[in-house]
Chains A and B, each alone.
Chain A
Amino acid sequence: QVQLVESGGGVVQPGGSLRLSCAASGFTFRSHGMHWVRQAPGKGLEWVAFIRYDESDDYYADSVRGRFTISRDNSKNTLFLQMSSLRPEDTAVYYCARAGLHFYMDVWGKGATVSVSS
């Protein structure tokens, strides 16, 4: 079945770095764009980043541009989010999601928790 599984979450100090991974299975990963979306405690959903199926383009929310980098390895069916210069406000559950034709998110992972605290 179609599945996305995030990993790499944890606790990190402000200013630190962390890399999230998202392993995809059950569909042709290399044919789909992918998103990262997060939810801070008590807050709503916030889009973080998007990458096209062939890595030809990537886009970021203003809140993370210049600090986060989205990438993918189509040979390993894996999506990544490299997070640097982390701030307490980056604390959230991070979801990877498969993108549909018009950038909707039709399949979601279970999420990885990132906590930025000293």
Chain B
Amino acid sequence: SFELTQPPSVSVSPGQTATITCSGNELGDKFASWYQHKPGQSPVMVIYEDSRRPSGIPERFSGSNSGNTATLTISGTQALDEAAYYCQAWDSNTAVFGGGTRLTVL
């Protein structure tokens, strides 16, 4: 079955660029989306269709997807970006989430 792999954690200093990867077999042939999830809140979609930003999502969030890897990039990371981030794709009539990456801003 299709699987998505993310690093469990990523750390970044405020103002720096955070990069979170998501790996899956031929993921570049599918559409990837990304979700931000803070404790006690509902998940929020920050990127869809590989690189498109929903209205209301800051421009510092960007995405790409090629080969076997999708990437979420947060430029000028702020303290309020600290959260878990999940990638997701659709394969064989199934939605698949990556295991999630805890982003720490310190």
Contacts and interface: CB of A to CB of B under 8 A. Distances in A.
Given A44-B100, A45-B100, A47-B95, A105 B35 contact: yes
A3 to B, nearest CB: 11
Contacts of A50: 93, 95
Given A45-B86, A45-B100, A105 B43 contact: yes
Nearest to B34: A104
A27 interface: no
B43 A104 contact: no
Given A102-B31, A104-B31, A108-B42, A59 B93 contact: yes
Contacts of A62: 1
A108 B90 CA distance: 17
Given A102-B49, A104-B88, A44 B97 contact: yes
Given A47-B97, A59-B93, A95-B42, A100 B48 contact: yes
27 contacts: A37-B97, A44-B98, A44-B99, A45-B37, A45-B86, A45-B100, A47-B94, A47-B95, A50-B93, A59-B93, A95-B42, A97-B43, A102-B31, A102-B33, A102-B48, A102-B49, A102-B90, A103-B95, A104-B33, A104-B88, A105-B33, A105-B35, A105-B43, A105-B95, A108-B42, A108-B44, A111-B42
Interface of A: 35, 37, 44-47, 50, 57, 59, 61-62, 95, 97, 100-106, 108-111
